[in-house]
Structure 1
Amino acid sequence: MNIDLRSDTVTKPTHAMLDAMMKAQVGDDVFSEDPTVNALQSRIAAMFGKQQALFFPSGSMANQTAIKLHTNPGEQVICDKYAHIYNYEAGGASFNSGVSCNLINGNKGMFSAEQVLEHINPDAFYYSQTTLVEIENTTNKGGGACWDFNEILKIRKICDDKNLGFHLDGARLWNALVAKNETAKQYGDVFDTISVCLSKGLGCPIGSVLVGNDDIMKKAIRIRKIFGGNMRQVGYLAAAGLYALDHHIDRLEEDHKKAKEIGNILSSLSYIKTVEPVETNIVVFELSSDVKEPDFFQKLKENNILIISMGSNKLRIVTHLDYTDAMHEKVLNSLTSLKI
C-alpha cells in the first residue's frame, strides 16, 4: 500500500461525497444562478456571522483577493516570516496588489500584539503605509500550531486603533476550531476577511471560500474575475463542500490523534534531532546531523511512504482523511525499524 503523507491536499473524494457531487443542482455561477454554490456561500457566511462569502478555486486566489481588497499599490502588509502569502503564493502580493510585506520574526508562525505595534510604519510620506495585518491559523511552517485567541483579540484592538485591516488565512482553520474547541463565529467577529480551505482537512477535491461583510466584499467578485477565477456550473464542486461541512469536521480529531502518535514515536528515535510540538495534523521534525535527508527519504520510499521537505533542515508529515488505521500502523512500525 502507498502511504502519501506529503500534505492533506492529496485526498480523493469519498464515495458518499462523489454521490453528493453527482446529484448537485447546478447553474451558471457567473450569473449567480448556481443554487449549490449559493447554498455553500450562504452557509459559510452564516457560520462566521458575515454578510457575504465567495467560492474560489484555490486558497491562494482567495488570499490574494483579500490582500487586494484591503490595500492599494505601494502599501504594506504585516505578516509572519513564515506566512503562506509571503512564501508560497509566488510573490502574488507584490505582483497582484503592488504591496510589500513587513515580516515579523515570530514563534512557529505566530507573533504578539506588541510585535505588530513595532512593525507599523511611522506616519511619514517617505514610509510605505501599513494598511493590513495578516495571520495564518493553523500555521503551516509552525507545524500546525494554533493561535492563542486572546492574542488575536489584542491584535484586533491594535487594528482598530490604527485603522488597519485584519485578514485570516484560515487554510486549516477547521483543524484549529476542533483542536481548541472554538467556533467559526468567534473568528468572524474578529477578522475583516477570512479565507477557509475545503480541499485540505475536509477532503474536497478543490475549493476555498472568502468571507467578509458587504463593505469589504463588494469588489471581491470583480477581483476574482480579474484573476481568472469566475466559474460556470461549479455547483458540482460546491456540493463536495456542503457534504464535507456535514461529515468531515468532527473527524479531524482522528487526524490530530494520529499526528500526535507519530510525533511521539519520532521523539523516541535516535536519528531524530527535534520534533515540534504537535497540536493538529502536521508533524514537523529535524533529522540528526549525521543523517542525510536524501537517504532518509529513500528509506521511507522503500516502505512506500512519502513525506515532504520544508527547507531549513525540516521535514513534514501531514495526516488526513485518506490515511487509514492500517497505514498508520505501518508508518509507526516503519519509523521504529528503519536502519539509518
Structure 2
Amino acid sequence: MALYAELHRHLGGSVVPRILWGYLQKNHHPLVEQFSDYAAFEGFYTRPRNSLEEYLELHKLVEQVQTAETLPYFIYRLLRGAYVFENLAYLELRYTPYLRTDANLSQSERIDQVEKIVEIVHQASRTVEYPIVTSQILCLHTALPYDVNRAMVDVAANLSHAVCAIDLAGSDRLYGERMDEFVDLYRYAQSRGLKTTGHLYETPNGCHPDLLPYLMRIGHGIQIPLHYPERLPELARNQQCLEICPSTYLKTGALDDISQLKVVFDRCFEAGVDIAICTDNAGLHNVRLPFEYENLLTFDIISFEQLQACQDAAFRHAFAWRYGPRPATLLHDLLQDQRGVGNRLTASVLP
C-alpha cells in the first residue's frame, strides 16, 4: 500500500546501480569497459565524495545516457521501484531537461528540444501501471547561461499539466557571482504563476539570504538550523519547508556524521519549521526512502511522532498533491468507520 511522498529526487541520480549497469551492458556502452565487473561499478557509483562538486560529476555520467529515446526505459523502472519497494503514493522528479537534449545541436536548437523532453517524461510517467501521482520540477542550472535558464522557466509555465515548479541546481560555489540573475529568474517564474524550490544553504558556499524570499520550499537548507538558527522563525512564518536528504550530506562531505542532523531536526521542530524527509539521489546512494526513515529512527535523531509529522508535512507541501490528507490518514479514517459499523452491528445482536 502506497503511503509516502517524495519531494526531492533527481532524475539523474535516481537510477539504482543495478539498473544502470544493466542498461550499459545491454547497449555495449563504452563506460562498461572502465570497470572489471558490477561490484567495481557499484563501488565507484555509490562511494562518498569529497565535495558537492565532485559528487555532482556523477550526474553527468547518467545525463549522457538519459536521452529522448531512453528516458521511458529509465522512468518505468524508477516508478516500478518507487511503488513496489518504497510505498510511494506521490513523487516529484526534478532534472534539467536541457541536459537531456542533443549535445550536437546549437544552443537555440537544444532549447527548442526542451519541451519535447518534458513531454516525454510526462507521458512515460503516465503510461506506467503503478498508481503513483507524479509531477516534474525543472532545474535551472548554475552551469547554464541565463537565456537557457529563462527558456526552461517558460517551458515550465507553458506545460503546467506536466510541471509543478522550478528549482536551482548545480555547484553552489557559482551562486554568488550570479545571484542577481537567479533572483531575476525566480521573480519571473513567480510572475508566471510557478511554484518554487531551490538548492540553498546546503553547504557553507550556498548561504545566500537574497534568494530565500522567493522559495516556497528549500532544497536541503541544513546550514540554516546549524549556523543561522535566527532565520528559523521567519521560515516558520512564511511556511517554508526544508527538504532534508540525510544520506546526501555524508556522500558530499557536508556532514561528518549523521548524528549532526539531530540539531537540524530539533531546532526546526522547536521553531515550527516543517521538514520533508527525502532521498535526493536514491540511485547514487543505493538507498530508498523507508531506509532514510529507519536510519533517522535508529540513530535517535527523530522520534516516531516526529517522523509522522515529517511524513504529513511532505504531503502538505507537495506541489501537485490535490487529495487532502496523506493516504495513511485516509486509510485510518476508513478503518475507523469500518470498526464503528462493526461495533454497531455487534451491539445490535447482543442481548
TM-score by length of 2: 0.30
More helix by share: 2
**TM-score, normalised by the number of residues in structure 1:** 0.31
Higher relative contact order (CA 8 A, sep 6+): 1
More strand by share: 1
